Chain A
Protein backbone atom coordinates (compact mmCIF):
# COMPACT_ATOMS: atom_id res chain seq x y z
CA UNK A 1 0.00 0.00 0.00
CA UNK A 2 1.33 3.43 -0.94
CA UNK A 3 1.98 6.24 1.53
CA UNK A 4 -0.99 8.12 0.07
CA UNK A 5 -3.37 5.18 0.42
CA UNK A 6 -2.24 4.49 3.96
CA UNK A 7 -2.68 8.11 5.06
CA UNK A 8 -6.12 8.29 3.47
CA UNK A 9 -7.03 5.11 5.29
CA UNK A 10 -5.88 6.58 8.63
CA UNK A 11 -7.78 9.82 8.05
CA UNK A 12 -10.92 8.01 6.87
CA UNK A 13 -10.85 5.86 9.98
CA UNK A 14 -10.62 8.95 12.23
CA UNK A 15 -13.42 10.65 10.33
CA UNK A 16 -15.54 7.48 10.31
CA UNK A 17 -15.86 7.77 6.54
CA UNK A 18 -15.15 5.54 3.54
CA UNK A 19 -11.72 6.08 1.99
CA UNK A 20 -13.51 7.15 -1.19
CA UNK A 21 -14.95 10.14 0.71
CA UNK A 22 -11.46 11.50 1.45
CA UNK A 23 -10.06 13.57 -1.40
CA UNK A 24 -6.66 15.18 -1.77
CA UNK A 25 -8.21 18.63 -1.36
CA UNK A 26 -10.20 17.75 1.78
CA UNK A 27 -9.31 19.63 4.94
CA UNK A 28 -9.57 17.84 8.23
CA UNK A 29 -12.29 20.28 9.17
CA UNK A 30 -14.28 19.30 6.04
CA UNK A 31 -14.02 15.71 7.16
CA UNK A 32 -15.29 16.54 10.65
CA UNK A 33 -11.99 15.80 12.44
CA UNK A 34 -11.66 17.90 15.63
CA UNK A 35 -8.54 18.72 17.65
CA UNK A 36 -8.55 15.37 19.45
CA UNK A 37 -9.04 13.54 16.15
CA UNK A 38 -6.13 15.49 14.71
CA UNK A 39 -3.79 14.49 17.53
CA UNK A 40 -4.92 10.88 17.11
CA UNK A 41 -4.33 11.02 13.36
CA UNK A 42 -0.79 12.34 13.87
CA UNK A 43 -0.15 9.55 16.36
CA UNK A 44 -1.47 6.92 13.92
CA UNK A 45 0.77 8.33 11.15
CA UNK A 46 3.81 8.23 13.44
CA UNK A 47 3.07 4.63 14.40
CA UNK A 48 2.42 3.52 10.81
CA UNK A 49 5.53 5.06 9.29
CA UNK A 50 7.80 5.01 12.33
CA UNK A 51 8.50 8.73 12.10
CA UNK A 52 8.30 11.68 14.51
CA UNK A 53 5.92 14.39 13.31
CA UNK A 54 6.78 17.88 14.62
CA UNK A 55 3.34 18.94 15.80
CA UNK A 56 2.28 21.07 18.77
CA UNK A 57 -1.46 21.22 19.40
CA UNK A 58 -1.02 24.73 20.83
CA UNK A 59 0.01 26.11 17.48
CA UNK A 60 -1.18 23.64 14.85
CA UNK A 61 -0.84 26.17 12.05
CA UNK A 62 2.59 27.21 13.26
CA UNK A 63 4.24 23.78 13.35
CA UNK A 64 6.77 22.57 10.80
CA UNK A 65 4.12 20.15 9.62
CA UNK A 66 1.39 21.43 7.31
CA UNK A 67 -2.03 19.99 8.09
CA UNK A 68 -4.10 22.31 5.90
CA UNK A 69 -5.25 19.53 3.54
CA UNK A 70 -4.89 15.80 2.93
CA UNK A 71 -2.39 16.41 0.11
CA UNK A 72 -0.26 18.66 2.37
CA UNK A 73 -0.22 15.97 5.04
CA UNK A 74 0.91 13.39 2.49
CA UNK A 75 3.66 15.73 1.21
CA UNK A 76 4.79 16.33 4.78
CA UNK A 77 4.93 12.63 5.59
CA UNK A 78 6.90 11.89 2.41
CA UNK A 79 9.37 14.61 3.35
CA UNK A 80 9.73 13.25 6.88
CA UNK A 81 10.22 9.72 5.53
CA UNK A 82 13.14 10.95 3.45
CA UNK A 83 14.62 13.05 6.26
CA UNK A 84 14.22 10.41 8.90
CA UNK A 85 15.20 7.41 6.73
CA UNK A 86 17.76 5.08 8.23
Chain B
Protein backbone atom coordinates (compact mmCIF):
# COMPACT_ATOMS: atom_id res chain seq x y z
CA UNK B 1 0.00 0.00 0.00
CA UNK B 2 1.34 3.41 -0.98
CA UNK B 3 0.93 6.62 0.99
CA UNK B 4 -1.14 9.29 -0.77
CA UNK B 5 -0.66 13.03 -0.40
CA UNK B 6 -2.32 16.15 -1.78
CA UNK B 7 0.09 18.35 -3.72
CA UNK B 8 -2.26 20.81 -5.35
CA UNK B 9 -5.61 22.46 -4.63
CA UNK B 10 -7.81 24.74 -6.67
CA UNK B 11 -11.30 26.14 -6.32
CA UNK B 12 -13.92 28.55 -7.41
CA UNK B 13 -17.00 29.05 -5.26
CA UNK B 14 -19.13 31.78 -3.73
CA UNK B 15 -16.38 32.67 -1.25
CA UNK B 16 -13.61 33.20 -3.76
CA UNK B 17 -11.98 32.39 -7.06
CA UNK B 18 -8.92 30.73 -5.52
CA UNK B 19 -7.91 28.60 -2.54
CA UNK B 20 -6.28 31.59 -0.83
CA UNK B 21 -9.38 33.77 -1.17
CA UNK B 22 -11.65 30.95 -0.03
CA UNK B 23 -9.55 30.21 3.05
CA UNK B 24 -9.40 33.90 3.92
CA UNK B 25 -13.19 34.10 3.70
CA UNK B 26 -13.58 30.96 5.84
CA UNK B 27 -11.17 32.40 8.41
CA UNK B 28 -13.17 35.62 8.51
CA UNK B 29 -16.45 33.72 8.69
CA UNK B 30 -17.72 35.57 5.66
CA UNK B 31 -21.04 34.60 4.06
CA UNK B 32 -21.08 34.08 0.29
CA UNK B 33 -24.83 33.53 0.18
CA UNK B 34 -26.97 36.29 -1.30
CA UNK B 35 -29.77 37.08 -3.74
CA UNK B 36 -29.70 34.90 -6.85
CA UNK B 37 -29.35 36.63 -10.21
CA UNK B 38 -30.50 34.79 -13.34
CA UNK B 39 -33.40 34.71 -15.77
CA UNK B 40 -36.87 34.13 -14.24
CA UNK B 41 -35.57 34.20 -10.66
CA UNK B 42 -38.70 36.16 -9.72
CA UNK B 43 -40.76 33.03 -10.42
CA UNK B 44 -38.93 31.11 -7.69
CA UNK B 45 -40.02 30.96 -4.06
CA UNK B 46 -36.38 30.39 -3.07
CA UNK B 47 -34.31 33.37 -4.22
CA UNK B 48 -31.01 33.02 -2.36
CA UNK B 49 -27.92 30.96 -3.05
CA UNK B 50 -24.16 30.82 -2.95
CA UNK B 51 -23.67 32.03 -6.50
CA UNK B 52 -20.21 32.53 -8.00
CA UNK B 53 -19.88 36.21 -8.88
CA UNK B 54 -17.49 38.03 -11.16
CA UNK B 55 -16.54 34.92 -13.07
CA UNK B 56 -16.33 35.96 -16.70
CA UNK B 57 -16.16 32.84 -18.84
CA UNK B 58 -15.94 35.01 -21.94
CA UNK B 59 -12.34 36.08 -22.26
CA UNK B 60 -11.20 33.15 -20.17
CA UNK B 61 -12.30 30.61 -22.80
CA UNK B 62 -12.46 31.05 -26.58
CA UNK B 63 -15.60 30.82 -28.71
CA UNK B 64 -15.22 27.14 -29.57
CA UNK B 65 -14.48 26.26 -25.95
CA UNK B 66 -17.55 28.21 -24.84
CA UNK B 67 -19.72 26.10 -27.13
CA UNK B 68 -18.42 22.98 -25.35
CA UNK B 69 -18.06 24.13 -21.74
CA UNK B 70 -21.12 24.19 -19.54
CA UNK B 71 -20.68 26.32 -16.42
CA UNK B 72 -19.81 23.22 -14.36
CA UNK B 73 -16.98 22.48 -16.80
CA UNK B 74 -15.83 26.11 -16.73
CA UNK B 75 -15.60 25.95 -12.94
CA UNK B 76 -13.75 22.63 -13.09
CA UNK B 77 -11.15 23.88 -15.56
CA UNK B 78 -10.55 27.07 -13.57
CA UNK B 79 -10.03 25.08 -10.35
CA UNK B 80 -7.92 22.41 -12.11
CA UNK B 81 -5.60 25.07 -13.52
CA UNK B 82 -4.95 26.38 -10.01
CA UNK B 83 -4.45 22.91 -8.51
CA UNK B 84 -2.10 21.64 -11.19
CA UNK B 85 -0.08 24.86 -11.25
CA UNK B 86 0.38 24.67 -7.48
CA UNK B 87 1.35 21.02 -7.65
CA UNK B 88 3.95 21.78 -10.32
CA UNK B 89 3.29 18.38 -11.84
CA UNK B 90 3.61 17.85 -15.61
CA UNK B 91 1.95 14.83 -17.09
CA UNK B 92 4.08 13.19 -19.76
CA UNK B 93 5.37 9.73 -20.68
CA UNK B 94 4.63 6.95 -18.21
CA UNK B 95 3.17 9.37 -15.64
CA UNK B 96 0.64 10.64 -18.18
CA UNK B 97 -0.21 7.13 -19.36
CA UNK B 98 -1.11 5.99 -15.85
CA UNK B 99 -2.65 9.11 -14.31
CA UNK B 100 -6.31 10.06 -14.75
CA UNK B 101 -9.19 12.21 -13.54
CA UNK B 102 -12.05 11.15 -11.28
CA UNK B 103 -14.58 13.89 -10.59
CA UNK B 104 -17.93 14.15 -8.87
CA UNK B 105 -21.03 15.96 -10.05
CA UNK B 106 -24.69 15.36 -9.31
CA UNK B 107 -26.25 17.19 -12.22
CA UNK B 108 -23.56 17.82 -14.83
CA UNK B 109 -24.59 20.44 -17.35
CA UNK B 110 -27.85 21.48 -15.73
CA UNK B 111 -27.95 24.96 -17.26
CA UNK B 112 -27.32 23.48 -20.70
CA UNK B 113 -30.37 21.24 -20.28
CA UNK B 114 -32.29 24.24 -18.96
CA UNK B 115 -31.34 26.61 -21.79
CA UNK B 116 -32.04 24.10 -24.52
CA UNK B 117 -35.34 22.83 -23.11
CA UNK B 118 -36.39 26.45 -22.89
CA UNK B 119 -35.39 26.96 -26.48
CA UNK B 120 -37.35 23.99 -27.86
CA UNK B 121 -40.36 24.05 -25.50
CA UNK B 122 -40.86 27.72 -24.67
CA UNK B 123 -39.45 29.39 -27.76
CA UNK B 124 -40.70 26.64 -30.07
CA UNK B 125 -37.38 26.21 -31.87
CA UNK B 126 -36.80 22.94 -33.67
CA UNK B 127 -33.03 23.01 -33.83
CA UNK B 128 -30.40 23.00 -31.07
CA UNK B 129 -26.66 23.58 -31.16
CA UNK B 130 -24.74 20.50 -32.35
CA UNK B 131 -22.71 20.30 -29.13
CA UNK B 132 -25.57 20.16 -26.64
CA UNK B 133 -24.85 16.54 -25.74
CA UNK B 134 -21.06 16.79 -25.29
CA UNK B 135 -21.65 19.98 -23.31
CA UNK B 136 -24.19 18.65 -20.82
CA UNK B 137 -22.89 15.13 -20.24
CA UNK B 138 -21.79 14.41 -16.68
CA UNK B 139 -18.29 13.35 -17.73
CA UNK B 140 -17.67 16.49 -19.83
CA UNK B 141 -15.65 18.21 -17.11
CA UNK B 142 -13.45 15.16 -16.45
CA UNK B 143 -12.91 14.75 -20.20
CA UNK B 144 -11.80 18.34 -20.69
CA UNK B 145 -9.38 18.08 -17.76
CA UNK B 146 -7.90 14.91 -19.26
CA UNK B 147 -7.48 16.63 -22.63
CA UNK B 148 -6.09 19.84 -21.20
CA UNK B 149 -3.44 18.12 -19.05
CA UNK B 150 -2.66 14.99 -21.09
CA UNK B 151 -4.06 12.58 -18.53
CA UNK B 152 -4.34 9.23 -20.32
CA UNK B 153 -5.07 6.80 -17.47
CA UNK B 154 -8.39 5.94 -15.81
CA UNK B 155 -10.89 8.81 -15.95
CA UNK B 156 -14.58 8.92 -15.16
CA UNK B 157 -17.28 10.78 -13.29
CA UNK B 158 -18.99 9.68 -10.11
CA UNK B 159 -22.54 10.74 -9.39
CA UNK B 160 -23.91 10.12 -5.91
CA UNK B 161 -25.85 13.34 -5.33
CA UNK B 162 -24.42 15.27 -2.36
CA UNK B 163 -21.62 12.75 -1.77
CA UNK B 164 -20.34 12.73 -5.39
CA UNK B 165 -17.07 14.54 -4.65
CA UNK B 166 -16.22 12.44 -1.62
CA UNK B 167 -16.93 9.24 -3.52
CA UNK B 168 -14.79 10.53 -6.41
CA UNK B 169 -11.88 11.51 -4.15
CA UNK B 170 -12.12 8.19 -2.30
CA UNK B 171 -11.87 6.40 -5.64
CA UNK B 172 -8.86 8.49 -6.75
CA UNK B 173 -7.22 7.86 -3.37
CA UNK B 174 -7.72 4.12 -3.75
CA UNK B 175 -6.17 4.18 -7.23
CA UNK B 176 -3.02 5.90 -5.98
CA UNK B 177 -2.86 3.86 -2.78
CA UNK B 178 -2.94 0.55 -4.64
CA UNK B 179 -0.26 1.67 -7.08
CA UNK B 180 -2.62 1.71 -10.06
CA UNK B 181 -1.90 5.39 -10.73
CA UNK B 182 1.04 7.55 -9.56
CA UNK B 183 -1.18 10.65 -9.45
CA UNK B 184 -4.85 11.47 -9.95
CA UNK B 185 -6.68 14.73 -10.51
CA UNK B 186 -9.86 14.60 -8.45
CA UNK B 187 -12.62 16.62 -6.77
CA UNK B 188 -15.93 17.80 -8.10
CA UNK B 189 -18.06 20.54 -9.53
CA UNK B 190 -21.67 21.65 -9.65
CA UNK B 191 -23.67 24.41 -11.25
CA UNK B 192 -27.39 24.07 -10.66
CA UNK B 193 -28.13 27.72 -9.99
CA UNK B 194 -30.45 28.32 -12.91
CA UNK B 195 -34.25 28.49 -13.03
CA UNK B 196 -34.86 24.78 -13.60
CA UNK B 197 -32.16 23.69 -11.17
CA UNK B 198 -33.49 25.70 -8.25
CA UNK B 199 -37.14 25.03 -9.17
CA UNK B 200 -36.50 21.30 -8.88
CA UNK B 201 -35.01 21.69 -5.39
CA UNK B 202 -37.81 24.00 -4.34
CA UNK B 203 -40.27 21.16 -4.91
CA UNK B 204 -38.78 19.14 -2.09
CA UNK B 205 -39.58 21.85 0.47
CA UNK B 206 -36.27 21.58 2.26
CA UNK B 207 -34.78 24.90 1.16
CA UNK B 208 -34.39 27.91 3.39
CA UNK B 209 -35.64 31.28 2.18
CA UNK B 210 -33.26 33.29 4.33
CA UNK B 211 -30.04 31.54 5.46
CA UNK B 212 -28.21 28.28 6.00
CA UNK B 213 -27.81 27.82 9.77
CA UNK B 214 -26.40 24.35 10.38
CA UNK B 215 -26.86 22.92 13.90
CA UNK B 216 -28.69 26.04 15.09
CA UNK B 217 -32.08 25.25 16.68
CA UNK B 218 -33.75 27.80 14.38
CA UNK B 219 -32.33 26.31 11.17
CA UNK B 220 -34.92 26.01 8.44
CA UNK B 221 -33.26 24.31 5.52
CA UNK B 222 -30.45 24.21 3.05
CA UNK B 223 -29.18 26.83 0.63
CA UNK B 224 -27.66 25.84 -2.69
CA UNK B 225 -24.22 26.89 -3.84
CA UNK B 226 -22.13 26.33 -6.97
CA UNK B 227 -18.49 25.98 -7.93
CA UNK B 228 -15.70 23.44 -7.98
CA UNK B 229 -12.86 22.06 -5.90
CA UNK B 230 -10.04 20.18 -7.64
CA UNK B 231 -6.99 18.45 -6.13
CA UNK B 232 -3.88 16.58 -7.18
CA UNK B 233 -3.59 13.31 -5.24
CA UNK B 234 -0.10 11.92 -5.58
CA UNK B 235 1.89 8.96 -4.35
CA UNK B 236 4.06 10.17 -1.43
CA UNK B 237 7.49 9.06 -2.74
CA UNK B 238 6.68 10.43 -6.17
CA UNK B 239 5.81 13.80 -4.65
CA UNK B 240 8.91 13.83 -2.45
CA UNK B 241 11.21 12.84 -5.31
CA UNK B 242 10.18 15.90 -7.31
CA UNK B 243 10.26 18.19 -4.27
CA UNK B 244 6.54 18.96 -4.29
CA UNK B 245 4.95 20.99 -1.52
CA UNK B 246 2.76 18.51 0.36
CA UNK B 247 -0.49 19.99 1.69
CA UNK B 248 -1.54 16.95 3.72
CA UNK B 249 -1.93 13.19 3.54
CA UNK B 250 -5.10 11.32 2.65
CA UNK B 251 -5.12 8.66 5.34
CA UNK B 252 -8.21 6.62 4.61
CA UNK B 253 -11.84 6.53 3.63
CA UNK B 254 -15.02 4.53 3.89
CA UNK B 255 -18.26 4.33 2.00
CA UNK B 256 -21.58 2.95 3.21
CA UNK B 257 -25.18 2.75 2.09
CA UNK B 258 -28.15 3.30 4.40
CA UNK B 259 -30.35 0.94 2.38
CA UNK B 260 -33.37 2.52 4.03
CA UNK B 261 -34.93 5.65 2.53
CA UNK B 262 -34.45 7.71 -0.64
CA UNK B 263 -34.23 11.03 1.23
CA UNK B 264 -34.25 10.52 5.00
CA UNK B 265 -30.73 10.01 6.38
CA UNK B 266 -29.84 7.15 8.71
CA UNK B 267 -27.70 7.48 11.81
CA UNK B 268 -26.50 3.94 11.37
CA UNK B 269 -25.36 4.44 7.76
CA UNK B 270 -23.52 7.66 8.67
CA UNK B 271 -21.90 6.07 11.73
CA UNK B 272 -20.73 3.08 9.73
CA UNK B 273 -19.03 5.38 7.20
CA UNK B 274 -17.33 7.44 9.93
CA UNK B 275 -16.18 4.38 11.88
CA UNK B 276 -15.09 2.74 8.63
CA UNK B 277 -12.88 5.69 7.71
CA UNK B 278 -11.19 5.58 11.14
CA UNK B 279 -10.63 1.87 10.72
CA UNK B 280 -9.29 2.21 7.18
CA UNK B 281 -6.84 4.92 8.27
CA UNK B 282 -5.94 2.89 11.41
CA UNK B 283 -6.94 5.73 13.68
CA UNK B 284 -8.47 5.82 17.12
CA UNK B 285 -11.45 8.10 17.71
CA UNK B 286 -9.27 10.22 20.04
CA UNK B 287 -6.94 11.06 17.13
CA UNK B 288 -9.60 13.17 15.39
CA UNK B 289 -9.45 16.89 16.18
CA UNK B 290 -11.88 18.25 13.62
CA UNK B 291 -14.71 17.04 11.43
CA UNK B 292 -15.92 18.98 8.45
CA UNK B 293 -19.59 18.11 8.76
CA UNK B 294 -22.05 17.42 6.01
CA UNK B 295 -24.12 19.94 8.01
CA UNK B 296 -26.75 20.92 5.45
CA UNK B 297 -28.91 22.99 7.79
CA UNK B 298 -31.92 20.72 7.35
CA UNK B 299 -33.70 19.40 10.41
CA UNK B 300 -33.09 15.81 9.39
CA UNK B 301 -29.41 15.89 8.45
CA UNK B 302 -27.99 17.85 11.34
CA UNK B 303 -29.52 15.88 14.18
CA UNK B 304 -28.79 12.55 12.47
CA UNK B 305 -25.18 13.54 11.80
CA UNK B 306 -24.62 14.69 15.39
CA UNK B 307 -26.12 11.47 16.72
CA UNK B 308 -23.84 9.44 14.44
CA UNK B 309 -20.77 11.37 15.61
CA UNK B 310 -21.78 10.87 19.25
CA UNK B 311 -22.20 7.14 18.63
CA UNK B 312 -18.83 6.67 16.98
CA UNK B 313 -16.75 8.94 19.22
CA UNK B 314 -18.37 8.40 22.60
CA UNK B 315 -16.94 10.83 25.19
CA UNK B 316 -14.42 12.18 22.64
CA UNK B 317 -17.36 13.64 20.66
CA UNK B 318 -17.43 16.46 23.23
CA UNK B 319 -13.74 17.22 22.71
CA UNK B 320 -13.55 17.41 18.94
CA UNK B 321 -14.66 20.33 16.79
CA UNK B 322 -17.22 19.92 14.01
CA UNK B 323 -18.27 22.71 11.69
CA UNK B 324 -20.28 23.15 8.52
CA UNK B 325 -18.86 25.57 5.97
CA UNK B 326 -22.07 25.23 3.94
CA UNK B 327 -23.24 28.12 6.10
CA UNK B 328 -20.80 30.26 4.07
CA UNK B 329 -20.57 28.80 0.54
CA UNK B 330 -23.92 26.99 0.42
CA UNK B 331 -24.44 23.37 -0.56
CA UNK B 332 -22.54 22.63 -3.74
CA UNK B 333 -24.36 19.28 -4.07
CA UNK B 334 -22.02 17.08 -6.13
CA UNK B 335 -19.13 19.51 -5.68
CA UNK B 336 -19.58 20.11 -2.00
CA UNK B 337 -17.12 17.62 -0.49
CA UNK B 338 -14.38 19.01 -2.71
CA UNK B 339 -14.78 22.63 -1.60
CA UNK B 340 -15.19 21.48 2.00
CA UNK B 341 -11.91 19.57 1.81
CA UNK B 342 -10.27 23.01 1.77
CA UNK B 343 -11.49 23.57 5.33
CA UNK B 344 -9.81 20.29 6.28
CA UNK B 345 -6.53 21.32 4.64
CA UNK B 346 -6.72 24.72 6.36
CA UNK B 347 -7.21 23.01 9.73
CA UNK B 348 -4.21 20.72 9.22
CA UNK B 349 -1.85 23.19 7.53
CA UNK B 350 -2.71 26.50 9.14
CA UNK B 351 -4.28 25.40 12.41
CA UNK B 352 -7.39 27.42 11.63
CA UNK B 353 -10.80 25.79 12.12
CA UNK B 354 -13.47 27.24 9.83
CA UNK B 355 -16.61 28.25 11.72
CA UNK B 356 -20.28 27.37 11.34
CA UNK B 357 -21.70 30.82 10.73
CA UNK B 358 -25.33 31.85 11.17
CA UNK B 359 -25.41 29.94 14.45
CA UNK B 360 -27.98 31.58 16.70
CA UNK B 361 -29.59 29.10 19.05
CA UNK B 362 -28.29 25.93 20.69
CA UNK B 363 -30.08 22.72 19.74
CA UNK B 364 -29.96 19.92 22.33
CA UNK B 365 -30.05 17.46 19.45
CA UNK B 366 -26.83 18.97 18.05
CA UNK B 367 -24.92 19.42 21.29
CA UNK B 368 -21.38 19.33 19.90
CA UNK B 369 -18.69 22.00 19.55
CA UNK B 370 -19.79 23.37 16.18
CA UNK B 371 -17.26 26.24 16.21
CA UNK B 372 -20.05 28.82 16.16
CA UNK B 373 -19.68 31.98 14.09
CA UNK B 374 -15.95 32.60 14.55
CA UNK B 375 -12.94 30.68 13.28
CA UNK B 376 -10.68 29.21 15.92
CA UNK B 377 -6.95 28.60 16.14
CA UNK B 378 -6.29 25.01 17.11
CA UNK B 379 -3.64 22.43 16.41
CA UNK B 380 -5.16 19.31 14.89
CA UNK B 381 -3.32 16.32 13.41
CA UNK B 382 -6.15 14.31 11.87
CA UNK B 383 -9.48 15.42 10.45
CA UNK B 384 -12.51 13.88 8.75
CA UNK B 385 -14.75 15.10 5.96
CA UNK B 386 -18.34 13.79 5.98
CA UNK B 387 -20.70 13.52 3.03
CA UNK B 388 -24.11 11.88 3.25
CA UNK B 389 -26.20 11.86 0.10
CA UNK B 390 -29.83 11.48 -0.90
CA UNK B 391 -30.25 7.87 -1.75
CA UNK B 392 -28.50 6.98 1.49
CA UNK B 393 -25.00 6.88 0.05
CA UNK B 394 -22.24 8.02 2.38
CA UNK B 395 -18.52 8.68 1.95
CA UNK B 396 -16.12 9.86 4.65
CA UNK B 397 -12.47 10.79 4.11
CA UNK B 398 -9.71 10.95 6.74
CA UNK B 399 -6.80 13.37 6.30
CA UNK B 400 -3.60 13.70 8.28
CA UNK B 401 -0.95 16.34 8.75
CA UNK B 402 2.39 15.51 7.09
7 smallest beta-carbon distances between A and B, as pairs: A57-B205, A58-B299, A58-B221, A58-B220, A57-B206, A39-B205, A58-B298
Q: Which residues of B contact A (CB under 8 A)?
A: 45, 203-206, 208, 219-221, 262-264, 298-300
Judge if A52 is at the interface, Cβ distance under 8 Å: yes
Q: Majority SS of interface residues in chain B?
A: loop
With CB as the reference atom, state the residue of chain B lying closest to A55: B205
Residues in B whose Cβ lies below 8 Å from that of A39: 203-205
With CB as the reference atom, state the residue of chain B lying closest to A39: B205
Bound-state Cα–Cα, A35 to B205, Å? 11
Query: Which residues of chain A in 29-60 are interfacial with respect to chain B, using CB atoms and an 8 Å cutoff?
Result: 35-36, 39, 42-43, 52, 55-59
**Shortest CB distance A35–B (Å):** 7
**Shortest CB distance B297–A (Å):** 8
Q: Which residues of A contact B (CB under 8 A)?
A: 35-36, 39, 42-43, 52, 55-59
Residues in A whose Cβ lies below 8 Å from that of B219: 58
Residues in B whose Cβ lies below 8 Å from that of A58: 205-206, 208, 219-221, 298-300
Bound-state Cα–Cα, A55 to B207, Å? 11
Q: A55-B205, A57-B205 are in contact. List 20 more A-B contacts (CB 8 A).
A: A35-B263, A35-B264, A39-B203, A39-B204, A39-B205, A52-B45, A56-B206, A56-B208, A56-B220, A56-B221, A57-B206, A57-B221, A58-B205, A58-B208, A58-B219, A58-B220, A58-B299, A58-B300, A59-B220, A59-B299
With CB as the reference atom, state the residue of chain B lying closest to A35: B264
Residues in A whose Cβ lies below 8 Å from that of B298: 58
User: How many A-B Cβ pairs are below 8 Å?
Assistant: 32
Bound-state Cα–Cα, A52 to B299, Å? 22
Residues in B whose Cβ lies below 8 Å from that of A56: 205-206, 208, 220-221
Bound-state Cα–Cα, A2 to B10, Å? 59
Residues in B whose Cβ lies below 8 Å from that of A57: 204-206, 221, 299
Q: Can you name 9 A-B pairs with beta carbons within 8 Å?
A: A35-B263, A36-B262, A39-B203, A52-B45, A56-B205, A56-B208, A57-B299, A58-B221, A59-B220
With CB as the reference atom, state the residue of chain A lying closest to B263: A36
Residues in A whose Cβ lies below 8 Å from that of B221: 56-58
**Shortest CB distance B133–A (Å):** 31
Bound-state Cα–Cα, A58 to B212, Å? 12
With CB as the reference atom, state the residue of chain B lying closest to A36: B263
Residues in A whose Cβ lies below 8 Å from that of B208: 56, 58
On whether the beta carbons of A43 and B264 are closer than 8 Å, the reply is no
Known: A58-B220, A59-B220. A42 touches B205 (CB 8 A): yes
With CB as the reference atom, state the residue of chain A lying closest to B296: A58
Bound-state Cα–Cα, A52 to B221, Å? 19
Residues in A whose Cβ lies below 8 Å from that of B45: 52
Bound-state Cα–Cα, A26 to B58, Å? 58
Bound-state Cα–Cα, A43 to B262, Å? 18
**Shortest CB distance A34–B (Å):** 8
Bound-state Cα–Cα, A39 to B300, Å? 15
With CB as the reference atom, state the residue of chain A lying closest to B207: A56
Bound-state Cα–Cα, A59 to B299, Å? 7
Residues in A whose Cβ lies below 8 Å from that of B203: 39, 43
Residues in A whose Cβ lies below 8 Å from that of B262: 36
Bound-state Cα–Cα, A39 to B206, Å? 10
Residues in A whose Cβ lies below 8 Å from that of B205: 39, 42, 55-58
With CB as the reference atom, state the residue of chain B lying closest to A52: B45
Bound-state Cα–Cα, A83 to B221, Å? 26
Bound-state Cα–Cα, A42 to B205, Å? 10
With CB as the reference atom, state the residue of chain A lying closest to B209: A56
Bound-state Cα–Cα, A57 to B262, Å? 15
- Which of the listed residues B205, B206, B264 has the most CB atoms from chain A within 10 Å of its own CB? B205
Residues in B whose Cβ lies below 8 Å from that of A35: 263-264
Bound-state Cα–Cα, A52 to B263, Å? 23
Bound-state Cα–Cα, A52 to B205, Å? 12
- Which of the listed residues A35, A42, A57, A59 has the most CB atoms from chain B within 10 Å of its own CB? A57
Bound-state Cα–Cα, A52 to B209, Å? 15
With CB as the reference atom, state the residue of chain A lying closest to B264: A35
Bound-state Cα–Cα, A56 to B220, Å? 8
Residues in A whose Cβ lies below 8 Å from that of B300: 58
Bound-state Cα–Cα, A39 to B205, Å? 7
**Shortest CB distance B261–A (Å):** 8
Bound-state Cα–Cα, A57 to B204, Å? 8
**Shortest CB distance A56–B (Å):** 6
Residues in A whose Cβ lies below 8 Å from that of B204: 39, 57
